Amino acid sequence: MNYQLNEQQLQLVERIVTVLEQDNTSPAIAGIVALLLVSPCREMTIDEIQEQLQLSKSSTNHAINILLQAGMLSYGHKLLARKRYYRLEVRAWRDFLLKKLKRQKKLNELLSEVIEQRPEETHEFNKHLIDLVNLMEQLHTSSIQLLKK
């Protein structure tokens, strides 16, 4: 690769990492995703990723394996090169979002069951829970409609 990110690109990588970490993504995974999003290089070797992010080999391998298993990363080989070249599978993110929405829908169904079990004496708590369930239902419906387009 031999390409170094400029200051603006590095800052963008850092901002993406910060947002992903706030969503409970590990720093190594967040860094790899951000780097491959921002870098003008479509694919990178593990050594290039390590060098750019200053990660240990173990940390990098672990994060790459998780991303591969999630289908968010793939790899290929170049002619006569013995290294793997990793690239983001942004197309797979749509499926990832759909799975996440399905899990949120299941949680919402469980919260609806909780509401049915709640005692009437906890009226204010119940009201907030009902509001949350209604909001989650609206978000789910809107999100599914957007993803179908």
Query: How many Å apart are CA 139 and CA 56, to the nearest integer?
Result: 39
pLDDT of residue 80: 79
pTM: 0.77
Residue 28 predicted with pLDDT over 60 = yes
On the question of pLDDT at 50 being above 60, the answer is yes
- Asked if 133 contacts 111 with a C-beta cutoff of 8 angstroms, the reply is yes
Q: What does the alpha-carbon distance between residue 106 and residue 114 come to, in Å, rounded to a whole number?
A: 13
Measured in whole angstroms, the distance separating CA 46 from the mean position of its chain's CA atoms is 20
Dump pLDDT digits (tens) for 126-147: 999 999 999 999 999 998 888 7
Which CATH architecture is the domain 7-90 placed in?
A: Orthogonal Bundle (1.10)
Where do the domains of the chain lie?
7-90, 93-148
pLDDT at 99: 84
